Chain A
């Protein structure tokens, strides 16, 4: 008798999702959070892979922590990620479900947009970034999001669940010139372009120090801003309480234009500023880092 391991895993995964959906419908967000605790605990007991994938970050963020302390750090991080996933399901499935978001630095962003030179909003895979970005509104100019295929699919899925249309225009980064032409045009029209500044998936990059190690980070955003004269604002989201999240502007700067012979050093400087903001963020929210792979070898 043949044993299709993948089919079994798919079945178990679907069953797991369905159990969470039932919990959400019957007991709401709090009920699903409660179920999440033993699920994450069991997952950490039986999966060595998750410990390995989280350890790349944990050992840099908490170098002094021993094995037991790191185990509980991992629990907190995976549990917080589980909460973000539960929230997404809850917002999609339950009528009246709502998270309260606060945008710290909104006035500064509005003042930058009012200058009419566009705005590059740089963010990262931290906190409940998808939910938070989905609710960016009140900018009075169109918002564009530079995304690769997987991010686009997740964003569309989120809005499909809520039976809403995507409130921003998606610029595909896997197209000609990595979506740079559309992004440039959008900034020239004075619009907002959001870009993930942490995961490198090809194209221009800079190597900077982040949490004590060298890492390759995408750098096209800074060139985009320098060429168009747009400012860069680093906006990171964090879940603060069960139904609250915060989006905070961590840094604002204007990358100055530079010629191609000095481009790399300029890109390294601006990318370094992004890395510093991310470090400060992780100082405050150490368990909201959602890059589950060896980030330093990307």
Chain B
């Protein structure tokens, strides 16, 4: 799980081009949107595509997205859970 979280952090910073953010320093519980990493709804679109591309996991609807996109922790749990199925 720790490796998965590391991959997610690197993906978010690299592919969403977050300037001045060190992936290693992102707290697992930091909110991804608004006051946390400062992502917005357009980043959410890219994040859905990135998760599918890098982890082969599809986020289908608002409920899944809302639960998964709370933090690095919730996103990692979501991906791990989907991969089991």
Name B residues whose Cβ lies closer than 8 Å to a Cβ of A.
16-19, 40-46, 48-49, 52, 58-62, 64-66, 69
Contacts of A260 in B (CB 8 A): 16-18, 42-43
Report the minimum CB–CB distance from A152 to chain B (whole Å).
Answer: 15
Residue from B59, B62, B65 with most neighbouring chain A CB atoms (10 Å): B62
Chain B minimum-CB-distance residue to A202: B41
Known: A185-B58, A185-B60. A178 touches B41 (CB 8 A): yes
Chosen A-B contacts, 24 in total, with CB atoms closer than 8 Å, are A172-B62, A176-B66, A177-B44, A177-B62, A180-B42, A180-B44, A181-B48, A181-B59, A181-B62, A183-B45, A184-B45, A184-B48, A185-B59, A185-B60, A188-B48, A188-B58, A203-B41, A204-B40, A220-B45, A224-B45, A227-B49, A259-B17, A261-B17, A261-B19
Bound Cα distance from A211 to B59, whole angstroms:
40
Bound Cα distance from A263 to B17, whole angstroms:
11
Besides A185-B61, A204-B41, A261-B19, 13 more A-B contacts (Cβ < 8 Å) are A176-B65, A177-B65, A179-B62, A181-B48, A203-B41, A220-B45, A227-B48, A228-B45, A259-B17, A260-B17, A260-B42, A261-B17, A263-B42
Report the minimum CB–CB distance from B20 to chain A (whole Å).
Answer: 12
Chain A minimum-CB-distance residue to B66: A176
Contacts of B49 in A (CB 8 A): 184, 188, 227-228
Bound Cα distance from A252 to B69, whole angstroms:
32
